[in-house]
Amino acid sequence: MGGAAVHPRLVTEHACVALTRRTSFRKAFLAPWAGGAAWDAVGQVFAYAAGLAQRATGVEVHQIVLAVTHHHTSMTPRGHELAEATRVLHRTTSRALKRLLLAHRYEAPEAVWDSRSTHWTTLVDAGAVASRLVYDDVNAVAAGWVAHPLDVAFGQHLGFEHWKAGGLVVPRPEGVGFGAKAPKEIELRLTPPIALWRQFEGDLDAMVAFLEELRSARLVPRSVRGAAAMAGLHPWDEPSSSSEEQGLVPSFAVTPGEAGRALRIQCAGEVRGHRKAHRLRIEAWKGGDRTSPFPAGSLWGHVFLGMELEAPVAGAVLTAPHISREEAEAELVEKQLMRARFEEERRARTLLREERRERARRLLEDDALEQTFEEEMRRIRVVREDPLHVPKVVDPVRREVKERVRTEGAPRVIVLRSRVVMGRLGGRGSNDPPE
């Protein structure tokens, strides 16, 4: 390990972990050198081993990318089983790849994997998960092998394009040491990380479309060597560079940039605190203390020494378990029920609002009609009379005109009466005196 300090593993339950391990001497043992029909032989060995590790430990697998001299695999532990899952994965692939090398008349190494332990990077939030998944996804493109991640041989890249199907069935590789008791095929379940699943509320189409968009942004046109050149690599080839790049690889990752700054500072403080507390607890163990619990999140003390762990501090991120998939699914169901209730209440409010609008419309129509009636009434002249006054009706007086007897020598009598229009043409009556 070159004298580098070995820090204690800090396990965050239900948090996605990006795993990386290199081959011995940086040899191309993971390149598609063995060929294959439906599956690339090397990729089939690795996928089958990952299925065995998943079945043995229950760990969730999200993505597998073989990158010639190393692999990038994303998993999520339910508890502290990730160490056992990586042990099964690497032991199984090492044994099978040695036999595969011998079957193709190549020399088999003493160890396929580098002596350094598997590197873990805990992906704290959805932003870190998405960024790392896409980074691993385009590894072959960044290395100049192919123009698109899916151009590699099948089995070399198993990513988020398989989430909608829930995974795939891996047939047992033949002639590489898997006995008759090994299953003829094994299911490798590929599921989205919980943090990403929560952010998109279980919408797989939206998740995959989002990651494909991030992938497209990284696919810069460039000259590539091609999948055929990648398959033509000799398993004992190694990179042309004199040595691999050295640098500080963080044990955790958060959303890049300023958006994750506060969370990054908190996680860094938790890592420092955990390392210090773990060192003090190991010193106490060497001093004979076999009862005190180890710091929260400790892998070594809990898995290998069987000790209890301290309860995580309130508000902790890395040393406290994240929400499980079952809890996330229950949370989503609760959100859906709440939204359905809100939608029902919204429809009820909308219906009530429409009823009120209809009632107001009818009232406005009634008011308009009443106003029209009032305007019409104002045009009518009303003569105010005493309601108790009864007009007197004067009956016409009929008089019989008797035969007049005119006395000799008496003066003539003239009777004045009102003029009565007689006849349709308005002529004078026969009894009217001359005008």
| C-alpha to C-alpha distance for 133 and 136, rounded to whole angstroms | 5
Average pLDDT, the chain: 87
At 399 the pLDDT is 55
Percentage of the chain with pLDDT > 70?
A: 84
Residue 240 pLDDT? 74
SS3 content of the chain, % helix, strand, coil (to 5): 40, 10, 50
What Å distances lie between residue 257 and 35, 262, 317, CA to CA?
41, 10, 19
CB distance 328 to 21 below 8 Å: no
pLDDT digits (tens, 9 = 90+) for 24-71: 999 999 999 999 889 999 999 999 999 999 999 999 999 999 999 999
Instruction: Identify residue 45 by its one-letter amino acid code.
Output: V
pLDDT score recorded for residue 60: 96
The answer to whether the CB of 152 falls within 8 A of the CB of 32 is: yes
pLDDT at res. 393: 62
2 pLDDT more than 50: no
Distance from C-alpha of 413 to C-alpha of 398, rounded to nearest angstrom: 20
pLDDT of residue 254: 95
Q: Are strands 70-76 and 60-66 parallel, antiparallel or unpaired?
A: antiparallel
- Stretch 352-357: mean pLDDT: 90
- Indicate if the pLDDT at residue 253 is higher than 80: yes
Looking at residue 21, its pLDDT comes to 95
Q: Look at strands 119-123 and 252-253 and give their pairing.
A: parallel
Q: Is residue 4 predicted with pLDDT exceeding 90?
A: no
Strands across the sheet containing 70-76: 157-158, 60-66, 70-76, 16-22, 119-123, 252-253
Beta bridge partners of 168: 188
DSSP per position, 240-292: SSSS----PPPSEE-SSSGGGHHHHHHHHHHHHHHHHHHHHHHHHHHTT--SS
CATH number of 16-239+247-256: 3.30.70.1290
Given this model, what pLDDT does residue 244 score?
Answer: 59
User: What ranges do the domains of the chain cover?
Assistant: 16-239+247-256, 258-319, 324-364
pLDDT at 3: 44
402: left (phi over 0), alpha (psi -120 to 50) or beta: beta
Angle 326-255-123 (CA atoms, 0-180°, nearest 5)?
45
Angle, helices 126-137/204-218, rounded to nearest 10 degrees: 50
Return the SS3 of 329.
Answer: helix
Instruction: Tell me the HSE value of 10 on the side-chain side, using a 13 A CA sphere.
Output: 29
Residue 433 or residue 297, greater confidence: 297
Higher pLDDT, residue 415 or 260: 260
d(CA 372, CA 207): 63
* pLDDT, position 198: 95
What's the pLDDT tens digit per position in 387-402?
666 666 656 555 555 5
CB count in 10 Å sphere of residue 199: 19
The reported pLDDT for the residue numbered 1 is 38
- Distance between CA atoms of 87 and 312, rounded to whole angstroms? 27
Return the amino acid letter for 353.
Answer: R
In degrees and rounded to multiples of 5, residue 19 shows phi and psi of -105, 140
The continuous run of DSSP H or E covering 205 comes out as: helix 204-218
pLDDT of residue 434: 58
Q: What is the pLDDT averaged over residues 158-168?
A: 93
Q: Is 358 helix (H, G, I), strand (E, B) or coil?
A: helix
Largest Cα–Cα distance of the chain, in whole Å? 182
Per-residue pLDDT at 412 exceeds 70: no
Q: What is the pLDDT of residue 129?
A: 97
pLDDT confidence tier of residue 425, bands split at 50, 70 and 90: very low
Q: Among candidates 9, 124, 15, which has minimal Cα distance to 60?
A: 15
Which residues neighbour 129 within 8 Å (Cβ) at sequence distance 6 or greater? 16, 123, 193, 195, 196
% of residues, the chain, pLDDT over 90? 63
Band of pLDDT at residue 220, cut at 50, 70 and 90: confident
Q: How confident is the model at residue 370 (pLDDT cuts 50, 70, 90)?
A: confident
Q: Which residues contact 358 (CB under 8 A, 6 or more apart)?
A: none
Of 4-8, 178-182, 202-206, which has the strongest mean pLDDT? Answer: 202-206
| Interstrand relation of 185-189 and 167-171 (parallel, antiparallel or unpaired) | antiparallel
Token representation of residue 214:
């991030």
At residue 91 the predicted structure's pLDDT band, cuts being 50, 70 and 90, is very high
Segment 96-132, tens digit of pLDDT: 999 999 999 999 999 999 998 899 999 999 999 999 9
Which tokens sit at 400?
């019989």
pLDDT of residue 200 exceeding 50, the answer is yes
pLDDT tier at 142, thresholds 50, 70, 90: very high
The answer to whether residues 236 and 27 touch, using CB atoms and an 8 Å cutoff, is yes
